[in-house]
Every structure is written in C-alpha cells, then in structure tokens.
Chains A and B, each alone.
Chain A
Amino acid sequence: MNETPIAEINCIRCESPLESGDLRCAICGQAALNDQAVARKKLAIQILRCTGCGAAITYDPKHQAPSCSFCGDVVKVESIDDPMEQTEHYLPFTVTADEARAALRGWLDSRGWFRPSDLSASAQLTQLKPLWWVAWVFDAEAFVSWAADSNEGSGRSDWAPHSGQNNIQFDDILVSASRGLSLNEAAAISRGMNLATKRQTPEGADRDATLERFDVQRSQARQEVSAAIHRIAAQRAQQHFIPGTRFRKVKVAIVLRRLVTRRMSLPAYVLAYRYKDRLYRVVICGQDIRLMVGTSPKSLIKMIAVGLVVAAIALVFLLILAAGS
C-alpha cells in the first residue's frame, strides 16, 4: 500500500508548508506530490490477493480498508491523519513566583480610588500556579480584498461604502487555543512573550506547573487559525486602509500564501486571592511582570458616597436654575 509520509515540504502553489499526512494543501487545495505515483504506459489487469491465504481481497466498508473475506485479514492502508495538536515549543518562565507574588500586591494597590482601602492588606493569596497555556503562532502573506461602510464621504446616511485591496504581512501572530485562560486574559498577556526564547522542553517553573494540552484536532485548528486571520485582517483594514474614523460591516476575502503555523506553550501565573470571603483571579505573563489582568473588588461605600455627592451637586444645580427662572 502507499505509505507516503509528507512532511517538511511546501505546497508548490501557495508555498505553505504541508504537514505529515496532508494529501493536499489546506490553504489552496493543491494536491501534494506523490513520489510513488507511476504513470502506467500499458493496459494491465490485476487481482489483489491476500498475503495470508492467497484469496482475492475486496474493500470492506466496515473496516474502511481492503480485507480478505476468507481469513479476515485487513490490509493496512494509509491512515487518514487528523491528529490532535501537539506543542512544538515552550517559552520559559523568566518571572519567578516571588516576583509574581510581589507584582500582585503592587497591582492591588493600583486598582484606583474605588478599591476598598484595605484591599492590599486584607487580600489573602490562596493560589499561585504556574501554567503553560497553548496557542498557535503564525506567519503569512495575505492579499486582502475588503469592503466596508465608514463615515468617510457619507451623505444623508451616516455611512458610505468603500472597497479596496491590500497586501498584509502577518508576523508572529498569536492565537490562543487555551481553555484555561479567557480570550481577554490571553490577549492581555500575549504582548510580553519573547518568541525567540523558545525551548524544546518546559523550563523555569516548579515541577507542579500545569501543562495545558491542545484539545483540538488539526482540521479544527486550521479553521480556528483561519477565522483568526480573517478577524485580524479586518482589524488591520480598519486601522490602516479603510478611510474614515467609524466603521461597520467590514468584510474581507483573503488569498493566503506561506502560512506557517507553530504550536506553542506559553508561560503565565494564575493567581487566586480571597478578599472578604470572595475569590478573585489574576493572570500574570510569565515573561513580563508588567502584563497582568484580573478582577478586583470595588468599595460599595465609596461608590454610594460618590453617587450621593453627584446627586447633591445635580440637586443644587437644579435649585439654582429654578431660582434663576
């Protein structure tokens, strides 16, 4: 049977790498070259026989493979490959657990005027867990056709239509595949990752660090990366190409080339702290202490006080207006 692992070669049409088991390019549909294909020059008749008992073999839908109906032997065939995604590289932790703990205190102190006055003093750290979360990082060249409404050139309506085409280069774009971190959390700490520090194994954290696994198959991963490319292309078109300052109905069509996707595990600290019987969560980038995102309590008394002051000012203002008229 044909056993043709195809790896580390590029599509001859769009130059995106083909991965092991790809029979055709996932981006442009070009069939992968088959080194074992032999152009038959003469007519030939053949019966395929079981290597065990010599009987003719037939394709069996139950096994989805050719099998011998006499001895039951199933012929091994090239498997349909849609493997689970696997991490290829890890970024090391460069922030220590102590630094993360100290950063949390600083972050609690900087929560603004509405924070409870005793937040930093009363908050109790209940968990500090190093986590390698999973993400795809991709590079690609994209020829983007876009159409959108914007306020530029609008007449009686607030909107006017525009269209255009531009090349967009994507370099080291990170798309979260994490189930442990929310999209907001992943986006907030992604900027701090230094992809040049990638390693073959996890480094820089305790042994009890959580190693998140990809939980999607390759075909679904490709769909998610493709959806992210469309989303980011629409954002870039808004930022750089579509005239105007307000936008809606931004549509993009993309011809991709040289899409290279890497599967990475990225470092983060997930911290949980308790304040007055409630738990709050903070995520800190494992490579940049300045990047953190989380939730914190608000002081109800301060909020009510501000509300009362605003109401009092409004009342005084109304009384002045009433007296004037």
Chain B
Amino acid sequence: MATDLANSTSDQLEISCQSCGAKLVVEAHLRSTLCPYCASPSIVSRPPSPNRPSPTFLVGFVVDHEHATKAVKNWVAGSHIFARSDFKAAVPELTRGVYLPAYLYGAVANTRYSASIGENYTVTETYTTTDSKGKTVTRTRTVTKTEWRPLAGNHCCYVLDVLVSASQGVTNAALEAVEPFDLRALRRYADSFISGWLAEEPSRTQDDCFRLAHDETIAKVGAMLKNFMPGDSHSNLEYQTDLSHEVIDLVLLPIWTYAVRYAEDRPPIQILVNGQTGRVAGKVPVSAAKVTFAVVGVLLLIGILFLLFMAAQG
C-alpha cells in the first residue's frame, strides 16, 4: 500500500497518516515514523541519490527493549571506580531504538612496505668479574644480539566488513565501541524490517564515509602488516596502500540509544546498545574528586613508605 501524497520542504516532510488521516511531520533524516495518534507505522521511501542511496542490507533487532534497558542499567552500575557516583546511581532514559545507517565497505588493498627486520643470534662473551672470595675471575656468558636487515615488498589482500557510521548523530568511534555485528545475520533490506521502528537516512555524505572507511581500512592493513613481518622483531615499518575494487553498501544496523542524566549542570551521556548482541558502550563521566582523592592517597602512601624506609636506615 503506497501513496505519493506528501509535501516536502528542504528539511521536513509533511505526510498524512494512512490509518487515521492525521498530518505528520517526518524529519529529513528519517525514513520511518509512528503516528502519535494511532501508532500506525509509516515508511518513507525517497528516490535514491548519491548521498542517500537505498539500503542494500539490514541487521535485524534481536535484543528487545527490556533486555537492552537491563544491560544499560548493569553497565552503568558496573562502570569503573573513578566514575561519578551520581552517574552510577542515575536511571537511564530510553531515547529510541533506531536502525542506524552505516556503510559496509570492502576493497583490495595493495601495499608497498619497507621495514628493518631484526634477526636474533647468540654470541658467547668472555668477561671478568669478582667472585665471592674477592678474586678476579674470567667467565663466559651467552648474549642474544640482533642483526638488522632491510626488507621491502608488496602485500596484497582483501579487506572486508569495514563498517562506518553514516549518521551525524553517532560518531564512527561510538559505533566501533558497540561493534562487532555478526554479519552472517545480514538480510537483504526490505521495508517490512523497519516497520514500527525509527530508521535514519544517511546524514553524512558518501565522500565523508569513504574517507572514514579508507582510514579504517588502512589502519587494518597496518595491523596486518605487523603480523606479516618475518624476523624476531621489526622497526621502521613504513607503508603506502592503494585501495582498488572497492565495494560499499548501505546497511541499517540495530541500535538502542539511551541518555543518562546524572547532573543538572551537565549534558546527558549517550549510551548505545548493539541491538543484535546487547553490547553496551558510552563515555563514562570521571569524578574529579575521586581521582584527586586517589592521587593524594597514593602520594601519602609513598610518603609513609619513604619515611619508614628512612627510619629503618637509621
């Protein structure tokens, strides 16, 4: 059932609810909405454009609201000892469960690298020392040394499954914090999967996302190269990567977003929950008082130990 009855402005779209006829305003960055009067879910399908392609894939929600809230409460209560006490006691407020747009990127990475490779070898050294009777004696010992050899070469591999956030509201670092997603459960996108849920349209340009994906891919190649180097150690690893045969697909990822208000004078903390695995991540506010107290405590302990040591030395 589809109609084209819609008025759009540059930022918002005014539609009529097809169940009750109410006028609804859909923000430009959303591709679905719920009617506040009859709770009917509407899906907005816009013509694709370079910066707003149609989704290719989707990972469906597995974790429901109840489990996500429980996971967030546990995560907040179990945050590290330097977290603010009012944060630990705060009650998380559900903002929404949303399908977050992200790009799934892959490429062939051709890398030219150079490095110094350390090859260990052992030598027997003769040295003189003083024995227990105070006599000078000559002894031998085995010493491991490293011979450094230059190595240059090429490394070529597929880099797959790089996910970058296409939403302005969720940074790429925040998305990485709740990764990984099990991409074996990837589904081909269909409108029915987002029915009743909020789904965002990409709000970052594809160029920006490509740039983020390139950076993440090159970082992955760097990590691979560290494992690829032969020898007992390596140093001065330098590399230049060309990416070719790139594939990029828009994928919608299930995310529960929570806001935690812990102080009147502070902005709320955004906490994300992976809607597939239940993994929780967010930035925990650190208590300056706790940190100061800990530093002072450690200094005091060092001071006491020093005084005891001095007293023992007479």
Contacts and interface: CB of A to CB of B under 8 A. Distances in A.
B298 interface: no
B229 interface: yes
A251 B13 CA distance: 55
B50 interface: no
Given A29-B247, A40-B45, A145-B155, A2 B190 contact: yes
B44 A45 contact: yes
Contacts of A4: 188
A61 B192 contact: no
Contacts of B158: 27-29, 255-256
Given A82-B184, A157-B120, A253-B155, A56 B56 contact: no
Nearest to A251: B228
Given A61-B61, A62-B64, A255-B108, A44 B45 contact: yes
A254 interface: yes
A117 interface: no
A46 B2 contact: yes
Nearest to B145: A156
Interface string B103-134: 01010100000000101110000000000000
- Which of B15, B60, B195 counts the most chain A CB atoms within 10 A? B195
A43 B192 contact: no
A163 interface: yes
B71 to A, nearest CB: 14
B245 A28 contact: yes
Contacts of A47: 1, 18-19, 40-43, 195
Contact of B64 (A56, A61, A155, A159): A61
Nearest to A256: B158
Interface string A148-175: 1100001111111111110000000000
B238 to A, nearest CB: 14
A253 B195 contact: no
A108 B156 CA distance: 50
B47 interface: yes
Interface residues of A, number: 64
B22 to A, nearest CB: 13
A45 B4 CA distance: 6
A24 interface: yes
A253 B224 contact: yes
Given A28-B158, A158-B121, A40 B54 contact: yes
B93 interface: no
Given A4-B188, A23-B186, A161-B119, A156 B147 contact: yes
B19 A23 contact: no
B106 A28 contact: yes
A28 B160 contact: yes
A41 interface: yes
A249 B191 CA distance: 50
B19 A161 contact: no
Interface string B35-64: 000011111111110000010110011111
A243 to B, nearest CB: 13
B54 A13 contact: no
Interface residues of B, number: 74
- Which of B151, B231, B249 counts the most chain A CB atoms within 10 A? B231
A39 B60 contact: no
A78 interface: yes
Contacts of A59: 60-61, 192-197
A256 B18 CA distance: 51
B186 A43 contact: no
Contacts of A31: 56-57, 247, 249
A245 interface: no
Interface string B54-84: 1011001111100000000000000000000
A174 to B, nearest CB: 24
B7 to A, nearest CB: 10
A75 interface: yes
A128 interface: no
A4 B156 CA distance: 33
A41 B49 CA distance: 10
Nearest to A218: B184
B149 A161 contact: yes
Nearest to B190: A2
B157 A254 contact: yes
A57 B192 contact: yes
A30 interface: yes
Contacts of A13: 245, 247
A200 interface: no
A133 B195 CA distance: 47
A48 interface: yes
A49 B2 CA distance: 11
A157 B247 contact: no
Interface string B194-216: 11110000000000000000000
A75 B196 CA distance: 14
Interface string A10-35: 00010000000001100111110010
Contact of A61 (B63, B117, B152): B63
A45 B184 contact: no
Contacts of B195: 47-48, 56-59, 66
B119 A64 contact: no
A143 interface: yes
Contacts of B13: 43
A219 interface: yes
A77 interface: yes
27 contacts: A23-B188, A24-B249, A29-B158, A41-B47, A42-B4, A44-B3, A44-B45, A45-B43, A46-B1, A56-B196, A57-B192, A59-B61, A59-B197, A61-B60, A61-B61, A64-B61, A65-B60, A66-B193, A143-B156, A145-B156, A149-B119, A157-B120, A165-B156, A251-B227, A255-B156, A255-B158, A256-B158
